[in-house]
């Protein structure tokens, strides 16, 4: 142990002099190496790409320099601006400097208003994630310039004032995996071009004003897991027969004007299916013929014209937490496993009986 060590003191020039002990000498070397590393660190490790920085400033200006962008200042590296994320390495850096912006999130701020600045955002050529969430002041149509974001994998424009159609040019975003345009004022039909996206596995277009039929090949290329929400629209026609080949985990088609047979969504082979909501449509099929997957946790087919009875296998679903078949034309005795559900789940049918409803008559 080294005794009587004295603290380093600055000399006349303000430099620090250390005693010549071995531990201090090692420490000095380490400090000098660390300082040299910081001093010689390339700009690419400290700031985002200069072109991306200019694009972000254009986004800020398009929204009138709203308070959401208060951290977007010259004294803060733009990779540290609120809502901005850059890639983890400098491998994409160019001679003009910097890490590439891969994610832009503008959310939960009523002070951000105006149209989506498509031209500015399209200049973020490395962008992978774009999020507008809970920004009701953002309005207008989804700009065509977003089609130039060839690296985009996740697009969310939700709970905004955006209107107009779901644009067909979204089918040009070949890297897209997730699309969420829910809770807006979008109108018109769902473009068939979305079905051509080779990696798209999750679509949420719920809570809009969409009309027309569901494109038959939607999510046909989704792979092992597919998620679809089209609820609270005015969609018509039938549930596409092609959905029999889609490996759904969750599907919500509730509160539309769909008709016909929806049994293609069920079957013992759907090992990953967890939640189905078909409520408040005009669907008509024989429920007694359905096969429910073992992992099914939630089923709502209320307010339709479904006939038959509740399959006995439904009472054996160990993970089933929500079950509602009310307001249909079902008949017969409920499986014994249904007794734990509330009465309202079965009300207003033709002749259902058994717990939790009154006992069946002999």
Domain ranges of the chain: 50-89+98-322
pLDDT band at 43 (very low <50, low <70, confident <90, very high): very low
Q: Length of the chain in residues, anyone?
A: 362
Q: What is the pLDDT of residues 199-231, one digit of tens each?
A: 999 999 999 999 999 999 999 999 999 999 999
What pairing do the DSSP bridges indicate for beta strands 129-140 and 101-107?
A: parallel
Strand partners, 257: 236
Minimum mean pLDDT range among 11-20, 52-61, 106-115, 258-267 = 11-20
CATH superfamily of 50-89+98-322: Ribonuclease Inhibitor (3.80.10.10)
pLDDT band at 37 (very low <50, low <70, confident <90, very high): very low
**C-alpha distance from residue 228 to each of 37, 70, 161, 273, 284 (Å):** 49, 36, 22, 12, 21
Residue 267's pLDDT is what?
A: 81
Alpha-carbon span 104 to 100, nearest angstrom: 11
Residue 88's pLDDT is what?
A: 87
* Lookup: tokens for 164: 């107009």
Indicate whether 319 pLDDT > 60: yes
Alpha-carbon span 262 to 189, nearest angstrom: 20
pLDDT band at 90 (very low <50, low <70, confident <90, very high): low
Looking at the chain, the whole-number percentage of residues with pLDDT higher than 70 is 85
Minimum mean pLDDT range among 18-27, 59-68, 278-287 = 18-27
What pairing do the DSSP bridges indicate for beta strands 322-324 and 307-308?
A: unpaired
Residue 322 phi, psi dihedral angles, 5° rounding: -135, 135
**C-alpha distance from residue 147 to each of 175, 182, 265, 352 (Å):** 11, 19, 32, 52
Q: What is the CA radius of gyration of the chain?
A: 29
Alpha-carbon span 129 to 320, nearest angstrom: 34
Q: What is the pTM of this model?
A: 0.86
Q: What is the pLDDT of residues 276-296, one digit of tens each?
A: 999 999 999 999 999 999 999
């Amino acid at each position: 142990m080294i005794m009587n060590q004295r603290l380093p003191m600055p000399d006349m020039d303000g430099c620090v002099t250390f005693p010549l002990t071995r531990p201090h000498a090692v420490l000095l070397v380490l400090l000098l190496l660390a300082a040299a590393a910081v001093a010689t660190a390339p700009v690419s490790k400290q700031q985002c790409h200069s072109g991306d920085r200019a694009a972000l400033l254009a986004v800020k200006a398009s929204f009138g320099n709203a308070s959401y962008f208060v951290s977007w200042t010259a004294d803060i590296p733009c990779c540290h601006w609120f809502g901005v994320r850059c890639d983890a390495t400098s491998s994409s850096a160019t001679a003009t400097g910097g890490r590439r912006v891969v994610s832009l999130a503008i959310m939960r701020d009523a002070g951000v208003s105006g149209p989506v600045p498509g031209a500015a955002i399209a200049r973020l050529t490395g962008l992978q994630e774009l999020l507008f969430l809970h920004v009701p002041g953002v309005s207008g149509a989804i700009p065509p310039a977003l089609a130039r974001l060839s690296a985009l994998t996740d697009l969310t424009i939700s709970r905004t004032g955006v209107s107009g159609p779901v644009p067909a040019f979204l089918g040009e975003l070949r890297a897209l995996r997730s699309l969420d345009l829910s809770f807006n004022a979008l109108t018109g039909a769902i473009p068939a071009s979305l079905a051509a996206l080779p990696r798209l596995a999750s679509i949420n277009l719920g809570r809009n004003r969409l009309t027309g039929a569901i494109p038959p090949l939607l999510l046909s290329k989704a792979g092992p897991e597919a998620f679809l929400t089209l609820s609270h629209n005015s969609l018509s026609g039938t549930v596409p027969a092609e959905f029999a080949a889609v490996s759904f985990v969750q599907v919500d088609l509730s509160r539309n004007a769909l008709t016909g047979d929806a049994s293609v969504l069920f079957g013992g082979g759907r090992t990953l299916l967890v939640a189905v909501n078909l409520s408040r449509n005009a669907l008509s099929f024989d429920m007694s013929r359905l096969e429910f997957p073992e992992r099914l946790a939630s089923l709502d087919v209320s307010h339709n014209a479904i006939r038959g009875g509740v399959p006995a296998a439904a009472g054996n679903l160990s993970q089933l937490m929500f079950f509602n078949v009310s307001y249909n034309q079902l008949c017969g005795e409920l499986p014994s496993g249904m007794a734990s559900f509330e009465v309202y789940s079965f009300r207003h049918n033709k002749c259902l009986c058994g717990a939790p409803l009154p006992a069946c008559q002999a």
